[in-house]
Amino acid sequence: MRIKKMTAAFGALDNATLEPGDGLTVITAPNEAGKSTWAGFLKAMLYGIDTRERDKTGFLADKTRYQPWSGAPMSGELQVEWQGKDITIRRFPTRTNPFGGFEAVYTASGDPVPGLTAANAGEQLTGVGKEVYLRSAFVGQGGAAIGASKELEARVAALATSGQEDVSYSAVERTLKDWRNRRRANRANGLIPQLEEEKSNLDSTLREMEQTRRRRAEAEQELARLEEQQKELQSDLEIWARLERHDLNRRYAEAYMEWEAAKAAIPEDKPHPVFGSMTGEDAWAFAQEKQEEWERDQKESEEYVQILKSSLHRWRRDGLIGCVVVVLMLILTMWMFSLHGTAAAIYFAVAAGFAVLFVVLNLRLIPPVRRRLDEIAALPPPEKADWLGQAAQYREALAAAQQSRAAEAAARRRVEDLAAQGGQLADTLEMLYPPAQSKAATVAQLAATERELARVRAELARTEGILTHMGGRSDIEARRSELDAQLTQRLEEYDALTTALEALSAANDALRQRFSPALNQQAGELFAALTGGRWPKLTLARDFSAQAAAEDTLPRSSLALSTGTAEQLYLAVRLAVCALTVPGAPIVLDDALTAFDDARCALALELLKAQARERQILLFSCHSREADWARAHGVPVIQL
């Protein structure tokens, strides 16, 4: 296969084109100009993009990495010469795959190329699958080293054996290890650990069953003891209850007698001769009113006597004064008559007559008043009324009656309370003796016993449940015997597989000494050319780990070489692998010579130019030295 033209809408490439030459083509550009993107585009056009890849920390899947920066759909076209004919391959997005659409046609006619599909295009065009191509003819940045691959190993191994590419040491080893791992991968995984774990679980179950049976027997004994203790404590409580009933009946009888006495002490309920059925407050108010009325009458009587006495005294005084006035008037009348005649004497005579009349009237009022005073004085002295004293006595009598009724009510309530508790007048005459411990201690001990009984019953139920769940001991022992047989068989299989792996490893060690002599020889020659003869020998193992040796030194692992020399070693290996396994596929080298010094870079370019006589080689480089060398030696150079 020879690449004629590539057109890409892929990552940073916006419908860009690239037309490499037939042999070696040096494609030069600075960093971030799209060199690695063109390499990735060719890989995607040949083998498609794996949509199952997912972005991870520090890693972008191809479907994300190569999304066109322009926002256009991912698409591309690859024109190649294959089997003497020009064909055009196109890939484009579908509804579910950003690069899943595929078309392969003959360039001249546009007719579909039969048998060429999206899945097999790369393998049909290059002659190898993706894993082999990427580990041989496709060198990405810093990826010259070849990783282990069953496909590549099988293809190379076929050159030294029967030609069967579907068999490899690593595949057989992997199969045998898978079989052995299914029996025992480590302490935790595999059939043997599973059987051992199940057997251990059965042993634990048998031990647990025995312990559970022992706990059940102990629980049954403890249950019988606690039930007997419970009966004894309940019997003691019954005695305490009967003793309490005796005491209750005694207190009931005493309370009943007190009630009878209280009823008899209640006074007869009849009206009071003065206050009737008044309350104490009403009687006191009534007594106060009567007392005030009596005192008011007494005061009025005393005031009446005093008025009579005052009137009698005044009338006596006025009579005496009148007599004096009459005498004086008569004297004046006689004097005036002797001096002034009859007219003046008449005037004084009339005045004397009025004075006589006044005296007569006053004297006539005195006898009735005196008789009234005598009558009053003849009356017996009034008794002092004691209404408040009678009211106080009445209130005291009411209070005493109330207290008697309250005492009767209290006695009656006590009788009713004791009756509600079961108290009665009748009682048995049995002789009872209190138990050894108090009732409170008996109750506390009974409660503790019942709690312990509940715990023991729960433990007994739990052990019964465990034993029921475990099943029969005979079934467990039968299963354990089966496990012993299976475990013995799996251990024998494991030992046999271990022996087979050891034998396979020994055979592989022997085969490694002669693994693909042609590959070792050709890679050694290429390595010697790349290093200017410094390292003429190279030995390659099945896992593609390599060792280099000079004429006078022991073989040295590639890990012990400088970075540049290691890169040259694996470039030699890849070129040798390409020559033997993929002779028709183009080689893609992305900055593969970066770690080479100038001298070895020139040697590598000479070697690549010679290799390009047989196949197409695309060398991407960010340095100008490769382009300068190419121009000086007539090699096509493309500047991106």
Residue type, 635: V
Q: Bigger pLDDT: 312 or 444?
A: 444
What's the CATH superfamily of 1-127+586-594+623-640? P-loop containing nucleotide triphosphate hydrolases (3.40.50.300)
Note the pTM of the prediction, 2 decimals. 0.48
Q: Is 89 exposed, middle or buried (0-12, 13-18, 19+ CB in 10 A)?
A: buried
Indicate whether 144 pLDDT > 60.
no
pLDDT of residue 379: 64
What's the rounded mean pLDDT across residues 262-289?
80
Indicate whether 167 pLDDT > 60.
no
pLDDT of residue 482: 83
Q: For residue 197, what is the enclosing H or E element? A: helix 191-264
- Domain map (residue ranges) of the chain: 1-127+586-594+623-640, 180-261+423-514, 280-385
pLDDT digits (tens, 9 = 90+) for 146-166: 554 555 555 454 444 433 444
pLDDT of residue 145: 55
Using N-to-C axis directions, what is the helix angle for 191-264 and 439-470, rounded to 10°? 150
Contact criterion met (CB below 8 Å) for 351 and 409: no
pLDDT digits (tens, 9 = 90+) for 312-364: 777 777 767 767 776 777 776 677 666 665 666 676 667 667 767 766 676 66
**pLDDT band of 77, cuts 50, 70, 90:** very high
**pLDDT band of 90, cuts 50, 70, 90:** very high
CA–CA distance, 245 with 428 (Å, rounded to integer):
10
CA–CA distance, 54 with 65 (Å, rounded to integer):
11
Q: Residue for token digits 């000479």?
A: 606
DSSP per-residue letters across 116-178: --TTTHHHHHHSS-HHHHHTTTEE-TT--SPPP-HHHHHHHHHHHSSS-TT--HHHHHHHHHH
Highest mean pLDDT among 99-108, 410-419, 514-523 belongs to 99-108
What's the rounded mean pLDDT across residues 623-630?
92
CA–CA distance, 284 with 287 (Å, rounded to integer):
5
Q: Bigger pLDDT: 98 or 167?
A: 98
Q: Residue for token digits 């190569």?
A: 66
pLDDT of residue 546: 72
Q: For residue 198, what is the enclosing H or E element? A: helix 191-264
Indicate whether 519 pLDDT > 80.
no
Q: Bigger pLDDT: 523 or 628?
A: 628
pLDDT of residue 49: 92
Mean pLDDT of the chain: 80
Q: Which of 371, 372, 377, 322 lies closest to 351 in space, CA to CA?
A: 322
Q: What percent of the chain has pLDDT over 70?
A: 82
pLDDT digits (tens, 9 = 90+) for 395-430: 888 788 888 888 888 989 998 898 888 888 766 656
Highest mean pLDDT among 218-222, 377-381, 557-561, 600-604 belongs to 600-604
What's the rounded mean pLDDT across residues 571-576?
85
What's the rounded mean pLDDT across residues 436-463?
87
Residue type, 304: Y
Looking only at the bridges linking them, the beta strands covering 101-106 and 85-92 are antiparallel
Q: What percent of the chain has pLDDT over 90?
A: 21
pLDDT of residue 572: 86
Where b means 16+ CB within 10 Å and e means fewer, 540-565 reads bebebebbbeeeeeeeeebeebeebb
**pLDDT band of 515, cuts 50, 70, 90:** very low
Neighbouring C-beta atoms of residue 148, cutoff 10 Å? 13
